[in-house]
Amino acid sequence: MKAEKLLHEPIRAVNIGLTLLGDALLQQETDAVSIAWRPPRKVSLSPRIAEILRKMDDEPKGSE
């Protein structure tokens, strides 16, 4: 697809794991599909990252 044509086509997006971005795309009436994804739990994370992810899991939905 040529760049000139790409700039004039409607945006179509696949959103993976970022609900805030997916919601923003849908609010702008963008053709978007959201996929709920999180990294596998059995990975070696730094304590800081593990704490951030734990807090995100504890956060009530809709408080984003």
Give per-residue pLDDT as tens, 33-64.
999 888 777 778 899 998 998 888 876 665 44
The confidence score (pLDDT) of residue 47 equals 92
Task: Name the 3-class secondary structure at 13.
Answer: strand
Strands (E), 8-62: 12-16, 31-35
Average pLDDT, the chain: 83
The confidence score (pLDDT) of residue 14 equals 92
pTM, rounded to two decimals:
0.48
Q: 31: pLDDT confidence band, cut at 50, 70 and 90?
A: very high
